[in-house]
A and B are shown apart, each in its own frame.
Chain A
Amino acid sequence: MKLIVSNVSGIPIYEQIKQQIKSAILSGELKEGEALPSLRTLARELKISVLTVTRAYTELEQEGFVNNVQGRGCFVMGKSSQLIREQLICRVETHLTEAIKASRMAEMPAEELHHLLDILMEENIDG
């Protein structure tokens, strides 16, 4: 599983870890029941503090993606994929609503908006 951190990205490190784990769950790289990397080993390998990784794992657990079993590790929860998909769909809704508002302000007709969506989706097919 790919997990790298950047000190200069501006995104807090624990947030970077969370995002990458969520991506791995969505893509199927991390399957249900699979264990996350050992907390302390990960901290050592990424050269970050133990508490930073702890925060990432704890928040993932609070949000329902993983389950922390004392003494055994963090395991991916069953409905994680679903949860993440739901979170992302929520994001799509929010951004689309914003786009619609902006198009209304620009007095863009509905067909143009649909057309723009198709073009952008084609351009972003690899993204």
Chain B
Amino acid sequence: MNNILKSARLDFFLVLPYSKRIILADIIMPVFYTFTTGSILSGVSFTMCMAAILSCYTFSVSEKNGMEKLYGVLPVTKKELVLGRYVFTCLMGLFSLIMAIILHPAFLLLMKKECRPADVIISVIAGILTFSLYTVIQLPGYYKYGALRARVFMYVPLVGFFAFLYLLGSEKKSLTVLLGHPAVLAFAAVLLFIGAYAVSIALSIKFLEKKEL
């Protein structure tokens, strides 16, 4: 296991004591949201939004415990620490997504509500898009300012989510066009995914390396 994966693993153990809270907010709550709205798209987006908000946990827990000392001692480079954290954050997102696309359709079908496969696919893509958009902005923010001081970054996804809902409500036309072309959406998602993450990671590494402990 290389150092990047070891760092991601360490992050996992960092948030493990908080797993109950995380699962409640990230998995259970969104199910009820889907139930009330009947829209799997909103439900999955909400899940990914939650997952992005929870990405601050690794930062706040390590800051509260003064763990930068541990990171300063372990034989890992700052680059590996940053990459490990991104890996863990994305894995958390992936886990949330998988749970969502299992639970939400099941719940909807249980409630005898409609759930089309096309909707699910669109939700997945939208989910990945929204999660990437949020975390790509949040993580460098946390690295630069620290999670405890930069609480504002935690709420970026919330802002984004409401903006998304607003768009959904108003600009129905252009959005339905976009949503009607999954291929375009998929392509955009991939581009965003790679490009934005590359920039975000580079920024995070720069901020961490500049940080004086």
User: Do A and B come into direct contact in the complex, CB within 8 Å?
Assistant: no
